[in-house]
Structure 1
Amino acid sequence: MQLVGKEISHIKFGEGIVKESRDNYITITFSQGEKKFLYPKAFNKYLTLKDKKVQLQVNQALEVLQKEELMQQIYIGEQQRLHKLQMERFYPDSQAAFGFVQNNREEVFSTWSLYAGSYQSGSSKGKPKLPVRLRLNSACLLTECAKGVSEKKRRILGVFMPREEFEGAACKDGIINSHERYRIKLEDKETMFYWNYIPEAEQVLKWGNIEIRYISNLTMQKILMDMKLVISDLKRRQEMEDFYQYFCLVNKLEDIEH
């Protein structure tokens, strides 16, 4: 793009001519003398070219720069958040399996949010439970056992990580919203049974009235590994791989081989 010699206008210095254009700055000659500006940043607020065609090209360069800066900010923010997560202490069994007792399957997958359930007795009966053991490292496993089907055949429907600002102890309404990126729904043909991953001594004949059952981080890791194997298409399999790597990172777990 040829900027040298182009007429330009500055909101304070008035009319000028571009004298020099280098990688990240331009020099403009005004009646008051020469001034240097960052390129293309200065065009965001202060500079306007009289050549509309070249101005359009500058606007495109500015858009590219703004996107790069935004991605850099997101990357830095994500690295800071991951570092904070890795510095926190977590329970070894801070993963959650939801039984779809007080949740509706269609609503959960349309909103990608879960209800932690209500207290069943005592002075707080009917009020939302605080999922106090859930943290940002907690995967929320979605399971369901259809009516008339043995509890042993409870299926895994999907999984998600909580939204970035989630804090279980502060979740007074009991609503757990999912992370926009780390969430996976299994298709009907991608069959996984929940109780296959739970030690026999901890298995039950009926799920009961509670919405959440807590499981170990290692158990959830094994489930996520197997989810990578049952997912059929490449795109979702890569998403599951990203989910798995993120889960291991925030839970300080080493990748395990089958």
Structure 2
Amino acid sequence: MNLLDEQVTHKSFGQGSVVACDGSYVEVAFALGTKKFVFPDVFGTHLALVDPKLAKFVAGVKKDIEAERREKEAELARKRAAEEAKRQRLLAREKLIKSHKLSPVSQVAFWCDEEEQEKVFAEGKVFTGLKKSGVNAGEPNRLVRLHHNSCCVITAREEDAPEKERRVVGLFMVGESFVGKLCEDGYIPAHSEYRLRLSDEEARKLPFWKYYVNERYPKNMTWNSGRHRYFDNVWAAQILQDIVALKEGTDEYEQVQGFLEHFCEMNRLRETDVPSPNGALVRASA
């Protein structure tokens, strides 16, 4: 589009002629001197082209630019709103973390089949499952006891194996800023550093029921339904201590020892005060 030498009229400066136009600005020579205006914003408000066809074309260009500008402004507003919403969520998390009262049972054990185990350790997250009844049926479970001090213990057993052979196949601390109460999608992210998957041989040495016990039925080893169970903080520390013992002399020893130290710090436990495991399997064997 070439506007050079085109005649224009200005509300204040009168008749003029375009002497330059670069797509962002237009310069017009008037009797009292040359003036520079923003293009195409000035047209239709203060400046008008004498040629009606050219005026119509410029009006269309202006309309398109204004529409694009409005879309950019709307997108910017959406981004700002999203950033503000994120900021508010982070503030809410920080508030909950600061006011968090440590529960002695703030860990969780999950029952995962072989296929899901692969997914959990590959993606670094575990799904809490869906509510099966009530007004919120079909929505993800919110494990409200879980906080930044929580650990997810992944368990499994062979389909035809007795329940007492359930084993610990891995575990991870939850993400640094995770708060179960605020989790909407049902996925618990793993900590960026404190996560561990055990080999089959190692898992066979970590029977789940060595640690877990229902005090009402201390020798019973049953997990007939449900995807998860809350888990005592001390039991998780016992598992980590046993893993440290398994890893002694290996390249992973320092990593697992660091995991144990971090867990104890987050849960206000002293390693030396953690008792020996006394779960249902231990009691049934006594």
Distance 2:246 2:101 in 1: 32
- Structure 1 residue 246 displacement after superposition: 0.1
CA offsets per residue over residues 136-177 of structure 1, 9 Å max, x none?
101110101110011100010011001111110011111001
- TM-score between the two structures when normalised by the length of structure 2: 0.56
Q: 1:238 to 1:245 in 2, by over 3 A?
A: same
**Residue among 105, 114, 122 paired with 2:134:** 122
- The aligned amino acid for 1:108 is V
1: CA distance, partners of 2:255 / 2:130? 32
Describe the superposition over 1:182-214 as per-residue Cα deviations: whole angstroms up to 9, x where unpaired.
Answer: 001111111310001123625655423322101
* Stretches of structure 1 lacking an aligned partner (at least 5 in a row): 1-83
Aligned with 2:155: secondary structure? strand
Q: Secondary structure at the match of 2:242?
A: helix
Q: 1:226 aligns with which of 242, 245, 248?
A: 242
SS in 1 for 2:190: strand
Greater CA radius of gyration, 1 or 2?
2
Separation in 2 of the partners of 1:174 and 1:103? 19
Structure 1 counterpart SS, 2:252 = helix
* 1:244 to 2:260 alignment: yes
Letter of the 2:151 counterpart: A
Equivalent in the alignment of 2:225 = 209
Aligned to 1:167: 179
Change (3 A) 1:242 1:85: farther
Structure 2 SS opposite 1:117:
coil
In the alignment, what sits opposite 2:120? 108
* 5+ residue gaps, structure 2: 1-95, 277-286
Partner AA of 2:212 in structure 1: I
Change (3 A) 1:249 1:109: same
Q: 1:170 to 1:210 in 2, by over 3 A?
A: same
SS class of match (1:228): helix
Q: Structure 2 vs 1, CA of residues 253 and 232 (structure 1 numbering), >3 Å: closer, same or farther?
A: closer
Backbone CA RMSD of aligned residues: 2.4
1:131 to 132, 143, 149: 143
Partner of 1:39 in structure 2? none
Q: Does structure 2 retain, via aligned residues, the 8 Å contact 1:132–1:169?
A: yes
